[in-house]
Amino acid sequence: MKRWTVLLVVLAVACGSVTAPAGAPLTIDELKFKVIDAAGPPAFCDPDFYPIAREGGEQASAIAQYPQIRADAELYHAIVEHEHLPSGELDDAQKLTLYRAFKLLRALKLAPSGDGYGFAYTAVKGNGFVAVQGTVRLDGTVNIASSAPGARPNCPICLAATTLIATPDGERIVTSVTPGMLVWTRSAEGDRIAMPVIEVGSTPVPPGHVMVHLRLADGRELWASPGHRTADGRPLGGLAVGDALDGSHLTLWELVPYSGGRTYDLLPAGPTGDYWADGILLASTLSSES
């Protein structure tokens, strides 16, 4: 009788009537990481810099948010596993890694679809942006149905309307800069070179938008949105008094109201996309690498 029972089980398996027990479905945060790994991280307006920067930047937010993130066991486990963080108490640098991953998860939305979830968002892919759509099954299998050129999110990350741009013909107010105009930019070797502007842009800002006002020890001053980045990639909203910047250091960092309706930016030709605004070297927000 036992032999017949074993034979029936073997036949049932061979015919597909019996299947091995499936593993537990992934959590929603684990599924989001599967999508991010397959399609790219979402492009979004970072809440630490738009529309109002927080003093202390991301690090202060990471420390403040750490207890709340850790209290969500599923979320915390998903991030720790994906980012290869230790299971015990995290130091400040690890808390920042945790927090940045948390912001990506929060920016990515999944909607129920069939036996899984659907997604449609703008991803950061290489040096550009891609609009992706697809689905992810509960086991983490990702299917990208479509992929097309995307655009940078419309975040207010640019210069005040009164900013002066360095050109071979002297300083020009940013609102007067046009495509084809020569401006000073930086070569790959770090030299100052004249190149034509290949793109200009402006962004409407929401009510209550604030600008970072900073002053360097040598007297240079700048007013720009908190998310605008220095030539070495740091957002202005994350700087602090004493930080080094463009051969000097900050003696003043404050947030001030902005009365203008738009902010402005430009992209010079050349390998870096950098330019001098009010005498300070910045990256362009129009550059796909900034």
CA dihedral 250, 255, 257, 262 (to 10 degrees): 70
- 31-to-62, 84, 95, 179 alpha-carbon distances in Å: 23, 17, 22, 43
- In this prediction, residue 287 carries a pLDDT of 58
Residues of the chain with pLDDT > 70, as a percent, come to: 86
For residues 177-196, average pLDDT:
95
Q: What is the DSSP letter of 21?
A: P
Residue 158, pLDDT above cutoff 80:
yes
- pLDDT category at 50 given cuts 50, 70, 90 is low
Class of domain 164-282: mainly beta
- pLDDT category at 119 given cuts 50, 70, 90 is very high
- In this prediction, residue 64 carries a pLDDT of 92
The answer to whether residues 133 and 144 touch, using CB atoms and an 8 Å cutoff, is yes
The answer to whether residues 184 and 172 touch, using CB atoms and an 8 Å cutoff, is no
The answer to whether residues 161 and 224 touch, using CB atoms and an 8 Å cutoff, is no
Domain with CATH 2.170.16.10 in the chain: 164-282
Secondary structure element (H or E) that encloses residue 200, with its range: strand 192-204
